[in-house]
Structure 1
Amino acid sequence: MTDVAKIKKTAAEWQEQLTAEQFHVLRQSGTERPFTGPYCNSFDHGRYDCAGCGQPLFLSDTKFDAGCGWPSFFKAVAPEAITEIEDATLGMVRTEIRCSKCDGHLGHVFPDGPPPTGLRYCLNGHAMTFTHET
């Protein structure tokens, strides 16, 4: 994965394509309540893709139970899949993560994950779809 072709759509086009929950998270930078979104407790073998554009984001073998209420991963499928942005909202400084292809809000990344990266990509379940692999 190298050059990522950007997807641009109007808000109306995104609303037609996405569920209300997906639109809130991906296009309005919303956050689902902890332990309420899909994939939080799922550890099936497969791949997690962006719900907005289908770009591969994370593999199941990098998913771990962080106990935080959101699906967590220690490594993206490729560095180019994720865009990191400083987020200074809510009285704190965090690193927001977005899909590099459609600019959909995915969640945040924190430096408190397990080896080998020490990172915890904390995602909204509604920002992703899952493809089972056998």
Structure 2
Amino acid sequence: DLPPGCAAVCNVSISVQRLGVEAAVRGDDHLLRQAMMMDPLVGAVCTTPEIDQMVDEMLVAQAKWLPQYKRAIAAARRRLRRGRSIKTRAYKGAARRRVKTVAEMAGHKQKARRSAAAADKAAEDRKRAVKGIRR
């Protein structure tokens, strides 16, 4: 058995995968879009319109392997032909922030440590525990 926290993370992924399988079996692009929206990694970096466009692009690109999505692919082609696509952003990384170099991170090491120490909610408990041991 997994610890509850790990199991929760795994259960989300399992549910998303099951929804994706159900979408594929049925050829249901609405279920496919829901699965994509519920995926924690996709949801972390894409808006709903971006996910819709991504699904359309993926269905069209892989159409020959997805006969069960025939109607959805035809509709996706029509939407993509309209030319109202969302442009790809010029950034890297899931947080949509500029990726720092190793040298930049090393330069901010002390600031990061102070910030982490300030956010450490268990620091006082550890100090009390150490004092209790020394008595």
TM-score normalised according to structure 1 size: 0.26
Larger Rg: 2
**Larger RCO (CA within 8 A; separation ≥ 6):** 1
The answer to which structure has the higher strand fraction is 1
